[in-house]
Each structure stands twice: as C-alpha cells, then as structure tokens.
Amino acid sequence: MRRVVVTGLGVVSPIGLGRETYWRALEEGRSGVGTISLFDATDYAVKIAAEVKDFDPEDWMDKKEARRADRVIHFVTAAAAMAVKDAQLNVHQIDPYRFGVYIGSGEGGIQTTNDNYGILRDKGPSRVSPFFVPMMLSSMPAAYVAITYGAKGPNMAVVTACASATHSMGEAYETILRGDADVMITGGAEAAITPIAMAGFAALKALSTRNDEPERASRPFDMGRDGFVMGEGAGVLIFEELEHALNRGANILAEVVGYGNTCDAYHITAPDPEGDGPKRAMEMAIRKGNLRPQDVDLINAHGTSTPLNDKMESAAIRAVFGDHADNLLVNSTKSMIGHCLGAAGALEAIAALQSIVEGVVHPTLNYEEPDPECNVNVVGPKAVKRDVRCVLVNNFGFGGHNAVLAFKKYEG
C-alpha cells in the first residue's frame, strides 16, 4: 500500500516569509493585520487587512517576468521555491511524468482583472494587456509552477473558494495514493486585497469593521467577533510517495493519512447551521486515515471569526468527537494572518505540521471572552506545549464546499 509524506514547506505570509520565520511569529502570537496600504481605502467601510510585507518579487523571478505577472504568481513562485529547497528536492532527478502540481486559488489574478478593467474603461480595448487573460486565470499558479520545475504529470487548480488549497492538497494526496504520481507540489495562493474584492466582501457584511484596532479584529470563537479579516499569501507543500522519499534520504516532516470532501448543498454563502457537511468531512478524513476520533490531538480550525462559521464548526466538532472534544485542542491561524481565502488551507496546514514537528500548538490571538455557543477547547492567546501526534485541518468555502485533511507524526 502506498503512503504519502510531507518533505518540504514554503511560506509567503502576512507575518513573514519562510517556514521558520512564519512559525516563530505564530508561536509568539504576532498579528499581521494592519491598515491597508496596497490601495487607498479611505472611502471603504473596511480599511484593514493582513498584507504580505517586505516582499520583492524580483528576489524570486526575473524583473521583466515579474512586471507581467499578477501578485498571486509572485507569491506562489516564492513559496514553491522555498518548498523545493526545504525538501532538498533535485527536480532534475525526478521522472517529469510522475511529478505533478495541484495548487488552488479562489480569486486567481484578481488584481490583473481589476487593473485591466480600469484600462479598458479609461483608455479603450486596444490598451488591455496581452497578458491579461493568462494572468487572471485561477489555474495559472499551478501552471506557472509546473513550467518552472518541468512537472509534466497531473496538474490541476481546484477552485472551491476558501477550501481551494485543502482540496488541492487532498487531491494531490490521492493522486499519489492511486499511483499516478510520486511527487506533488501542492497548496494554495491568493492575492485578493484589491479594491473590488474588499468592496465585495464588505458588501456581504463578511468582514470585521474594527478599523481602529486592526490587530484585535480577527478573533475566532471569541464572543466579540464581528467578521473575518482579509489576508493574502501562499503556502506550498511537497508531498511524496514514502519509498520515493526514503530512497533519496529526504527529511520526512509528517505523514498525510486522510482526506474528507463533502458539500453542504445548503446556501451560496451561509454554512448549514447544523454543520452536517463539515461533520461528515471530518468523519471521512478520520475513517480513511484508519484513525479513531480519540487519536486526534489538535484541530487547526477553519475558525474565520464570523458569527455563523465559528458556531457551526464548534457544533460539528462536538458531533464528531463527543467528550473527547474536551481534551482535543482547537486553534485558528486566521487570528494572526487573517483569512487568506484560497491560500488559507495551505498556510494553516503548514502551521499544523509545525505543531507536529515542534511539539507546540500556536495560540489563537484575541480569544478573550469564550462564546458559550462555541463549546470547544480553544487554545487561548498563549502557545501550549503538547506532543501532537495527529491533527486535522478544516477548511470550508462559500457554496458549502468542505475539505478536511488528517496528518500524523511519521513513525516509519
């Protein structure tokens, strides 16, 4: 039976670049949320977001190429390079036809779309960029990474809103399991802190309006939560078939053991308040991983900081784990990096994997007044030392898309 392990991690996030920098910031409870600087948000109801800072795309790609590419491509190029380096992966020694890329993005090149619509409106159709169409596609991050590394195997971009990265990783895992690839570059990327996206999410009343206290705005499971904070970035992971990893002497970080994929079939934006879809997705990941509910030590929750999601997710966790929910830890990475939409699952999976590697569970920032309707064991504003042997990563997207991954400590 084939097994799948994780051998490399790459991060572009609002709290730092690279796996180690990102993890230390999470462990210390640092917030990446601040006032928007990417555009003038003076007239916007929401003026805060978690932006990627101190990032120069020319550190990762040719200057001319960087000018032509959307910000989402900048992020995924950097994160993929970090992951390949972290895995000490010599891509020239891999059979290119057994080397694939699954990277999700909910919004794709939305900045490119935003900019070129302005050009069309102000200057006419002849001035629209010839790079507009390829660079606005949600499939382009996966294609771009494949072109960069010569990966000619399975290639796909899952687009399931905020579950995009987790579905991409789940499908990459199953692609290796069924024998269609030996190495997969997988994860998610998003760069949606743009005028149109911020206006749209604000119109939905989905975003926090705590403009005067940016660092306190994202507060998953807390009584005072009022919406999510938009984030951006990219998380890229290297998944390998176990024997392939062992044969090249790879450093194995953890094992991927289960994947759940369900739909609420309930509403285009609101979650099913009963949490049936997330419940079934968690149960599926546990069952396919040959686990028992009591084997799970930690859930890196979707934990958006919205009133409906956190309440629903808590109910789903209770339904799956029963009394074990009192012992199992729950945290939300979004409390520090905001909601990175299609990149969220990958960045959160990396945080969960670091908990396995480091034996530490990062805090949930701003968890100050527990909501009695979120009756789960949420890690507060301080990190907790814990031997984490098994973790679930939950992500749910608009439209009722639910994805859950199960990771375990690798035991040979």
Q: Which of 162, 340, 374, 390 is catalytic?
A: 162
DSSP string of 105-154, one letter each residue: -SS-SHHHHHHHHHHHHHH-GGGS-TTHHHHH-TTHHHHHHHHHHT--S-
Q: Where are the alpha helices (DSSP H) in 242-377?
A: 242-247, 276-288, 307-321, 334-337, 344-358
Report the half-sphere exposure of 153 (CA within 13 A, side-chain side). Answer: 22
Kindly tell me the sign of the dihedral angle through the C-alpha atoms of 252, 253, 257, 258.
negative
Structure tokens that stand for 185 in this block: 């570059």
Catalytic residue list contains 162: yes
Backbone angles phi, psi at 156, to 5 degrees: -160, 150
Report the half-sphere exposure of 256 (CA within 13 A, side-chain side). Answer: 31
Task: Note the residue count of the chain.
Answer: 412
* DSSP class of 382: S
Neighbours of 197 (CB within 10 A): 22
Measured CA distances, 144 to 1, 105, 115, 262 (Å): 32, 13, 21, 29
Place of tokens 């975003």: 207
Residues with Cβ within 8 Å of residue 115, at least 6 apart in sequence: none
Report the relative pairing of strands 254-263 and 4-13 from DSSP bridges: antiparallel
Structure tokens that stand for 95 in this block: 């059979």
Helix (H) or strand (E) holding 185: strand 183-190
Residues acting as catalytic residues: 162
